[in-house]
Chain A
Amino acid sequence: MKFVRKQLDSVKHNFEKGGKWEKYFFAYEAMDTFLFSPDTTTDAKGAQIRDAIDLKRLMITVIIAMLPCLIFGMWNVGHQHFLAIGQGATFTQEIWVGLIKTVPIIIVSYGVGLGIEFIFSTIRRHPVNEGFLVTGMLIPLVMPPDVPLWQVAVATAFAVVIGKEAFGGTGMNVVNIALTARAFLYFAYPSQISGEVWTYLGSGATTVAGYSGATPLALAAGSTGNAVNELNAFGAGWADGVYTLWNMFLGVMPGCIGETSTLMCLIGAFMLVATGVGSWKIIVSVFAGAWGMGLLLNAMGTSPFTQLPAHYHLVMGGLAFGAVFMATDPVTAAQTETGKWFYGLLIGMFTVLIRVFNPAYPEGIMLAILLMNVFAPLIDYFVVSANKKRRIQRATV
C-alpha cells in the first residue's frame, strides 16, 4: 500500500493551492480520503482525541445494514421472473437473472450521483460528502426491477441536483434524496412505475396461465369482499399463497428490488440500532403509527380495505423499508429526541391513511415520509420552543 500512498503524495502538490489542478482539490481529497484515513491531527487547543467514527463509517454501516435487503432482493427478482413465466429454475439461475437486472441499476445510480457530487464539489468548492454512498444504494432498492436505466439516471440526477445541491449539499437537504428520485419517477412517468411493473418478465416472454402482476396493496384497494381472503387466494395455480401474511413478511413476492421483505428490513433495523447509527425511536414509532391507524380504521371503517387487519399493513408495500432506511435519515428526520416520536408516528399514520383513502396510489410510505420530511422542522420548532419556555419559566419562579 506504500506504493499507492507514494503516488498519491507525489501528485498532491498539483491539487493544492497554486497547483495546476487546484480546482480539482476536493475531487482529489475525496479519492485520497477514500483510500486512506487522513493523517490530520487535532488542534492544539480543545479535544485532543477524536471518536473513531466519521461520516464515511456511519454511511458504510448503513450500507452494510442494507445488504440483506439487496441480496434477498436480487434473488427475489429472479425468483419472481421464473414464477411469472411459469418455468422452474435453479437457485443459481434465479440469482443470475437478479444480478443482470439489479447490478446495472446500481452502477447507473452511483455513476450519475457521484459524478454530479464531484462536479458540484469542484464548482462550489466544498468537500465531497459521503451522503451519496447511502443514497446511491437506496435508489436501486426502491426501483421496480424492470425500470429503464435512463429513467434511473434522470431520477438520480434530478434528486441530487434539485433535492440536495440546490439546498446547499449534504446536511442541508429538506427531503430524503432517494425518495425524491422515486417520487420524481412516479410523477414524471406515472404509467411506467405503477400498475403491473413489479415483476421482470423479459421481452416477448409469455406469462403463465392465470398470471397477474397486481400488488397486495392494489388487491386490497380493489377488494370487494374480504380482503384477507382475496389476498390468500391470489396466485392460485402459478404461485400459491404468494400474498399470505407469512409470505409477505418473508418478502417472496413481486415489488421493488429491495423493499419486499419485512424480515430483511428488520435484520437491517437490528444492525442500525445495535450500532447506534439509526434511531430506534423513529423505527418503532413508524410501525406503531401504522398499526395504530390500522386499528382505528378497523374500528371505524366500512369498506373492505379499512377492514383489513392492522398488522397486514406492516408487512405490505414498502412500510418496513421506509421506516428503517428512509425515515431514519438523520438529515431529513426530526432532530430532537422528543420530535422523533411524533415524526415517526405521523409517518406511520399517514402511510396507512394514504393507502386506504387515496384511490390513485395505493402505496403511502413514500408520500408520507416526504410529507413529514417537510414538517420535521416544524415538529422540532415546537420541541425547541418547549425547551426555551422551561428555561424562561425557571428564571421567573
Chain B
Amino acid sequence: MGKFIRLKKGFTINLAGKAAPKIAEPTAAETVAIKPSDFHGVYIPKLLVKEGDTVKAGSPLFHDKKLEDVQFTSPVSGEVVRVTRGEKRKLIEVVILADKVITYFPFKKHSVSDIANLSAEDVKGQLLASGVWTNLVQRPFGILAEPTATPKAIHISAFDTSPLAPEYSILFKGQDHFFQTGVDILKKLTPGLVHVNIHTGSELSTVFSQAKGAEVNKFSGPHPSGCVGVQIHHVDPINKGDVVWTINPFGVIQIGKLFLQGIYDASKLVAITGSEVKTPQYVRTVTGASIKHLIANNLSSENVRFISGNPLTGTSIGRDGHLGFYDHQLTVLPEGDSHEFLGWIMPGANKLSVQRAWGLFSFLTPNREFRVDTNTHGEPRALVQTGVFEQLVPMDILPGHLLKSVLVEDIDEMEALGIYEVIEEDLALCEFADVSKHNVQEILRDGIELIRLS
C-alpha cells in the first residue's frame, strides 16, 4: 500500500471557464507541429525529413545529436509542409499537414503474455524508435530521459491541480487496460517502484487506483499537490546523485498502445478552457495540433491570449499556433494590455490574490471563479521576501533562499537548498504571487541549466 500525504500549503487558483464534462464532435486537425523547445535537454536537433516528404504516424522527424537513439516522431500521417528555423538555423518546428485518415507506422505488436517476457532492452528499443520515449522526463533538471540512465523510481501524477486543469478521469476514461500495460512496461525500466499518485477526491476513477504492480499513493491539498515534483518530495525524495523519471498518464497509455496495438497513437483529449471561450469543453485531437479549428466560432471576445497548457506554466502560442507536446489544455484568457487609473489603491473585490490585501472578505466566497487577464499588475521591483513563497510550496524547501542562490549563481548553495528536487512547475505559484514581479520560473530554469551544463 502506498502512502497517504496531506498537504496544507499552496493555493488553488479558481478561474472562470472550466471545461464542462462533455466531449465535442471530433474535427480532424489540419496541421500538426513538433517543437524541439518543448523538450528540455535537447542539444542540437538533427532533422531527418525535408519539406514535401510524406510521413506516417510514428515516423521519425528528427533526433538529438547527443541522444541519437531518441526519435522524435510524427503524431499523424501526412506531408511535411514546413520546417521553421530561427537564428543560427536553430530548428523551431516541423509542421505536418495531416491526412484525413491516419496511417500508422507498424511497430511490433505483443500479446499480454509476451509483454511479461520482454527484457528491459527490448522495451527500450521499441520505446525509443517509436517516439513514445519522449514522454519520459528525467529529474533532476526536468530533461528528456537519458536511455542509458537507470532511475531509482518512476512517478506518475494522476491528477492535475493547476488552474482550469482537465479532469484526468475524463481524459483517460476507459483506458484502464492500456494504462495497466504501460505500468507493466515501466516496471522493467527501474529496479525501484513505479508510483501512481492519486488525489483523495478522485478515487472513483479506477484507471489509476486499480493499477496493479504500482505503488498507489494518495494526496490531498491545494495546488501544487498535483505537481509530480511535490509528490516525489514526499514519497521518495531526490538526493544528490539520484535519477528519477516522471511520466504523464497519457504517456503511460501511449506505451500500452504501442505494445498492444503496435502503433504510435498520438490522439488525445484536450480541454478548451478559459473565460474567453464560449463553451469550454473537451475535444478529441492529436499531440501538437493546430488550435485554429479548436477555437473557431468559440470565442467570446477578441483581444485574447492563446495559451498551450495552464495559466501558470503554459506558453502563449498565438492564434495560429500549435499545442505543446506535453499539454492537454488550451486556455484562452483576456489580454491585459490596458492601464487602470490608480489601480493599486482602489478597493476592489473582483481581483484575484493569494493575499487578502485585495478582497479582504474573499474567505466568504471560497468558490468564486475569477476572470483574470494577463496584466502583470505591477512593475518589477527589488526582491522583497514577504513570506508568501513559503506558504505556497508544500515541500521542506526555502524557495526564497533557493532563488537568491540562483541569482548569485552559487552552485554549492543551490545544491544544498534542494534545486535537484524542483523544476519550473513546482514553483510556478511563487511566480504568480511574487509582489516584486520576478520571472521565478525563468530564474529557476537558469539555475538548473547552470548546474546541468557545468
Known contacts A38-B339, A47-B431, A60-B344; is-contact A54 B401 (Cβ 8 Å): no
Kindly identify which residue among A38, A172, A335, A388 contacts B400, using a CB–CB cutoff of 8 Å: A335
Known contacts A38-B379, A40-B379, A335-B387; is-contact A52 B356 (Cβ 8 Å): no
Give Cα distance in the complex from A39 to B315, angstroms: 20
* CB-contacts of A141-176 with B (<8 A): 169-172
Give Cα distance in the complex from A61 to B386, angstroms: 13
Is there an interface contact between A53 and B341, defined as CB atoms closer than 8 Å? no
Give Cα distance in the complex from A78 to B400, angstroms: 46
Instruction: List chain A residues, Cβ under 8 A from B432.
Output: 47, 49-51
Is there an interface contact between B379 and A54, defined as CB atoms closer than 8 Å? yes
Instruction: List chain B residues, Cβ under 8 A from A76.
Output: none
Is there an interface contact between A36 and B381, defined as CB atoms closer than 8 Å? no
Specify which of A4, A50, A390 lies most central, judged by the most chain B CB atoms within 10 Å of its CB: A50
Output the nearest chain A residue to B163 by Cβ-Cβ distance.
Answer: A49
Instruction: List chain B residues, Cβ under 8 A from A337.
Output: 387, 390
Known contacts A40-B375, A44-B315, A47-B312; is-contact A387 B396 (Cβ 8 Å): yes
Does residue B442 face the partner (Cβ distance < 8 Å to A)? yes
* CB-contacts of A23-76 with B (<8 A): 29, 33, 35-58, 60-61
Output the nearest chain A residue to B383 by Cβ-Cβ distance.
Answer: A171
Is there an interface contact between A36 and B382, defined as CB atoms closer than 8 Å? no
Q: Mark A89-127, 1 if CB is under 8 A from B, else 0.
A: 000000000000000000000000000000000000011
Instruction: List chain B residues, Cβ under 8 A from A38.
Output: 339, 375-376, 378-379
Give Cα distance in the complex from A4 to B380, angstroms: 23
Does residue B366 face the partner (Cβ distance < 8 Å to A)? no
Stretch at the interface among A194-202, A275-283, A291-299: A275-283
Does residue B96 face the partner (Cβ distance < 8 Å to A)? no
Does residue A236 face the partner (Cβ distance < 8 Å to B)? no
Known contacts A37-B375, A274-B356; is-contact A335 B385 (Cβ 8 Å): yes
Q: Mark B334-348, 1 if CB is under 8 A from A, else 0.
A: 011111111111000
Give Cα distance in the complex from A53 to B351, angstroms: 9
Output the nearest chain B residue to A387 by Cβ-Cβ distance.
Answer: B398
Instruction: List chain B residues, Cβ under 8 A from A1.
Output: 341
Give Cα distance in the complex from A387 to B399, angstroms: 12
* CB-contacts of B403-454 with A (<8 A): 416-418, 424, 428, 431-437, 439-442
Give Cα distance in the complex from A279 to B353, angstroms: 17
Does residue B357 face the partner (Cβ distance < 8 Å to A)? yes
Is there an interface contact between B442 and A45, defined as CB atoms closer than 8 Å? yes
Instruction: List chain A residues, Cβ under 8 A from B375.
Output: 37-42, 50
Does residue A360 face the partner (Cβ distance < 8 Å to B)? no
Does residue B267 face the partner (Cβ distance < 8 Å to A)? no
Does residue A130 face the partner (Cβ distance < 8 Å to B)? yes
Does residue A129 face the partner (Cβ distance < 8 Å to B)? yes
Known contacts A38-B339, A57-B358; is-contact A48 B307 (Cβ 8 Å): yes
Is there an interface contact between B240 and A395, defined as CB atoms closer than 8 Å? yes
Does residue A331 face the partner (Cβ distance < 8 Å to B)? yes
Does residue A5 face the partner (Cβ distance < 8 Å to B)? yes
Output the nearest chain A residue to B241 by Cβ-Cβ distance.
Answer: A395
Known contacts A37-B339, A39-B337, A46-B313; is-contact A129 B382 (Cβ 8 Å): yes
Is there an interface contact between A42 and B376, defined as CB atoms closer than 8 Å? yes
Give Cα distance in the complex from A387 to B400, angstroms: 13
Instruction: List chain B residues, Cβ under 8 A from A172.
Output: 382
Kindly identify which residue among A47, A126, A169, A394 contacts B311, using a CB–CB cutoff of 8 Å: A47
Does residue B50 face the partner (Cβ distance < 8 Å to A)? no
Is there an interface contact between A51 and B433, defined as CB atoms closer than 8 Å? yes
Q: Mark B222-259, 1 if CB is under 8 A from A, else 0.
A: 00000000000000010111000000000000000000
Give Cα distance in the complex from A43 to B333, angstroms: 14
Give Cα distance in the complex from A380 to B385, angstroms: 13
Is there an interface contact between A54 and B437, defined as CB atoms closer than 8 Å? yes
Known contacts A170-B384, A330-B386; is-contact A49 B357 (Cβ 8 Å): no
Q: Nearest Cβ distance between residue A106 and chain B, in whole angstroms? A: 18
Q: Nearest Cβ distance between residue B342 and chain A, in whole angstroms? A: 7
Is there an interface contact between A127 and B417, defined as CB atoms closer than 8 Å? no
A interface residues with partner B (beta carbon < 8 Å)? 1, 4-5, 29, 33, 35-58, 60-61, 126-127, 129-130, 169-172, 274-277, 279, 330-331, 335-337, 340, 380, 384, 387-388, 390-392, 394-395
When A and B form their complex, which 9 residue pairs have the shortest distance between CB atoms, in order from nearest? A54-B378, A37-B343, A171-B382, A52-B351, A395-B239, A56-B344, A36-B339, A37-B340, A44-B316
Known: A38-B379, A40-B375, A394-B237. 20 other contacts (CB 8 A): A29-B379, A33-B344, A36-B341, A36-B342, A37-B341, A37-B343, A37-B375, A39-B339, A41-B374, A42-B375, A45-B441, A47-B441, A49-B312, A51-B352, A51-B353, A52-B351, A52-B358, A276-B356, A330-B386, A340-B387
User: Can you list 18 residue pairs at the A/B interface with Cβ under 8 Å?
Assistant: A39-B338, A40-B376, A42-B376, A47-B431, A48-B311, A49-B432, A51-B434, A52-B377, A53-B435, A55-B381, A56-B344, A60-B345, A61-B357, A130-B381, A170-B381, A274-B356, A276-B356, A391-B417
